[in-house]
C-alpha cells in the first residue's frame, strides 16, 4: 500500500554553482562517497549529482520531514542495483522513522536533462 510520495525538481546549474563556490566541501557534505564515485564515472557529472540531490529532497518530502536539525544530507543515499535501477538507503533518524511507519520499500525514479533533474519517491507499506 502506498502511504505517501514526494517529488523534487532542481536546476543542474544550482548544483554546479554551489560546487564551484564551495568546492569539495559542498560535495562531501551533501553526497556520500558512493554517490560521488558514481557521478564521476559519468560524462555529465553535475546532472547526476543534481538527480541525487533531487532524490534526497523527494525522499524527505515523502517522509514529511524536511531538513530538520537531526536529518543530514547523507542520511539519504542513492545507490544502483545490479541492473542499474536506482534505490534508496536511509540512515539515522530516517531509518528509525522508516521502521516506525512500517515502510517496506522506498521507490525512487530519477531523470535529468542538460538543465534540470527530477526525482519522484513513493513510500510503500
Q: What is the pLDDT of residue 67?
A: 67
Q: How far is CA 86 from the centre of its chain?
A: 10
Active site residue 80: no
As a whole number, mean pLDDT of residues 61-89 equals: 88
pLDDT tens figures, 17-74: 999 999 889 999 999 999 999 999 989 999 999 999 999 999 999 998 776 667 889 9
**What's the rounded Cα separation, in Å, for the pair 116 and 11?**
4
Q: Catalytic: which of 48, 56, 98, 112?
A: 112
| Nearest residue to 53 (alpha-carbon basis) of 33, 76, 80 | 76
The pLDDT of residue 18: 96
Annotated active-site residue 61? The verdict is: yes
User: What confidence score (pLDDT) does residue 65 get?
Assistant: 75
The domains located in the chain, with CATH, are: 2-124 (3.90.470.20)
pLDDT at 103: 97
pLDDT category at 9 given cuts 50, 70, 90 is very high
Catalytic pick among 61, 80, 87, 104: 61
pLDDT for the residue 28: 96
Find the mean pLDDT for residues 1-14.
97
For residues 12 and 70, what is the distance between their CA atoms, to the nearest angstrom?
Answer: 27
Burial profile 65-103: b = 16 or more Cβ within 10 angstroms, e = fewer: beeeeebebbbbbbeeeeeeebebebeebbeeebeeeeb
Amino acid at each position: 500500500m502506498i502511504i505517501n510520495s514526494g517529488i523534487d525538481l532542481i536546476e543542474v546549474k544550482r548544483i554546479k554553482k554551489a560546487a564551484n563556490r564551495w568546492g569539495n566541501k559542498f560535495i562531501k557534505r551533501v553526497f556520500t562517497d558512493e554517490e560521488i564515485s558514481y557521478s564521476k564515472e559519468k560524462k555529465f557529472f553535475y546532472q547526476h549529482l543534481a538527480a541525487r540531490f533531487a532524490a534526497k529532497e523527494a525522499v524527505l518530502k515523502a517522509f514529511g520531514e524536511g531538513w530538520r536539525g537531526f536529518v543530514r544530507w547523507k542520511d539519504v543515499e542513492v545507490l544502483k542495483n545490479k541492473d542499474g535501477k536506482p534505490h534508496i538507503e536511509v540512515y539515522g533518524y530516517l531509518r528509525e522513522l522508516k521502521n516506525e511507519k512500517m515502510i517496506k520499500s522506498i521507490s525512487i525514479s530519477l531523470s535529468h536533462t542538460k538543465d534540470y533533474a527530477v526525482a519522484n519517491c513513493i513510500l510503500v507499506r
